[in-house]
Amino acid sequence: MSENTRVAIVTGGSSGIGRETAVRLGRDGFAVVIGYAGNKASAEQAVTEVEAAGGRAIAVQADVADEVAVTALFDRAEQEFGGVDVVINAAGIMPLAPLAELDLQVFDDVVRTNLRGTFVVDQQAGRRIRNGGAIVNISSSLTLLARPGYSAYAASKGGVEAITLILARELRGRDVTVNAVAPGPTATPLFLDGKPQELIDRIAAEPPLERLGQPSDIAEIIAFLAGPARWINGQVIYANGGSAA
């Protein structure tokens, strides 16, 4: 591996936006560590796709909310590839229910994965990412769109945005950018699962571009922030095709 090869960790890299981002970074020549929660076969397939795109990749299982597992994830990246330059926080869960009906254990699970998970990964990134690096957290346009049923998910993502803006300022002097991408409805398993086609069609018709986002749409933005976009820092980029609150 060339000394100039940049190294990325992508949590949630076995599916959806995370997987598409890993492959997109592979096309840019990155070495990618794909963090995954439990689906080893999907993670290994993602490794194959990254390598086919021109990058190098390994898959490492890690619970993003477990600081011991996340420390080991960063250790593995450093052992395999020599360091970490880019960290993408794409792991997340999205159970839906009206606020008054949501089981509080489910709420705790959402906060644990989406908010604590981002915090734990960002904590390691803040300590270990190399100067000149980039951290990209995944928020959601639901923090603005306020769609019923998404209170727990949107609350967790509002916290992700707060973490992002503060960490960007805490890393002053390191030449490390920290930004969040806030997708609107995107055609991933996380979004599509359990929704009737009529609802999917109605949501897809809402933005002026009259379609759902594709994982590749979001991956392009993340790759831009991970690479050439050095003057974008401490920002939340809403990527939703023009959907309005």
Q: List active site positions.
A: 153
What is the spatial distance between Cα 161 and Cα 136, in angstroms, rounded to a whole number?
11
Pairing of strands 236-239, 7-11: unpaired
Six-digit token string for 3 = 């000394």
What is the spatial distance between Cα 60 and Cα 41, in angstroms, rounded to a whole number?
12
What is the spatial distance between Cα 143 and Cα 232, in angstroms, rounded to a whole number?
21
Closest-CA residue to 237 (of 228, 125, 220): 220
DSSP-assigned letter for residue 114: I
Residues 6+ apart with CB under 8 A from 151: 98, 99, 102
Q: Which amino acid is at 174?
A: R
Beta strand segments in 81-227, E? 86-89, 134-138, 177-183
Q: Which amino acid is at 4?
A: N
What is the spatial distance between Cα 44 and Cα 243, in angstroms, rounded to a whole number?
35
